Amino acid sequence: MRVVIIDGNNLLHKTPGLKKMFSENPETAQFSLYESVKSKVGKHDKLILVFDGFSSLKSPHIVFSGKKTADEVIRKYIEDNYEKHAIAVVTSDNGILSIARMCGCEILKSEEFVAAKKKNADINQLYIEDKEKPDGMSRKDFDFFKNKFT
């Protein structure tokens, strides 16, 4: 099973109709984004939408970061899960993209995701697969790099 983690605010602000809706009613825009995204993710994939801040919106697929940033929550999820090749990350944040790429996760920029939604395309075909890098790294190597570069 693959886990698709989406930086919710990042994707929301790349989607023209939802960006305006967000300024009027954030929770409605967030739920609308969830509804439009869940049909684009594979049936056997687990979807996690991560938003900044707090909300009364309840869903097992929507996570609010609270006092942390959504980027911190996404980064921690990537770091804490050993099967990096089973994680797909959707964001346009260069920091998170770099971490995901370094860890061997699948990546897709928010702009590409929005373009796929407009074309009604299957987003699973758009993930960038880099055959140059190994499938992943050992936990020992990951901890070494984490300590050296953070």
pLDDT tens digits for range 63-109: 999 999 999 999 999 888 867 678 999 999 999 999 888 888 889 99
Average pLDDT for residues 27-49, to the nearest whole number?
87
Q: What is the CATH number of the domain that holds 46?
A: 3.40.50
Domain of residue 75 covers 3-149
Average pLDDT for residues 53-63, to the nearest whole number?
87
Residue 90 CA to residue 146 CA, distance in Å, equals 22
Phi, psi of 81, rounded to the nearest 5 degrees:
-105, 125
Residue 121 CA to residue 140 CA, distance in Å, equals 39
**What's the total number of domains in the chain?**
1
pLDDT at 84: 66
Residue 97 CA to residue 3 CA, distance in Å, equals 16
The C-alpha torsion from 55 through 66 and 29 to 31, rounded to 10°, is -70
Q: How far is CA 81 from CA 10, 74, 117, in A?
A: 22, 11, 28
What is this structure's pTM?
0.74
pLDDT at 83: 74
- Which residues, listed in sequence order, are joined to residue 48 by a DSSP beta bridge? 5
pLDDT at 124: 56
**Per-residue pLDDT for 130 more than 60?**
no
Q: Which residues contact 119 (CB under 8 A, 6 or more apart)?
A: none
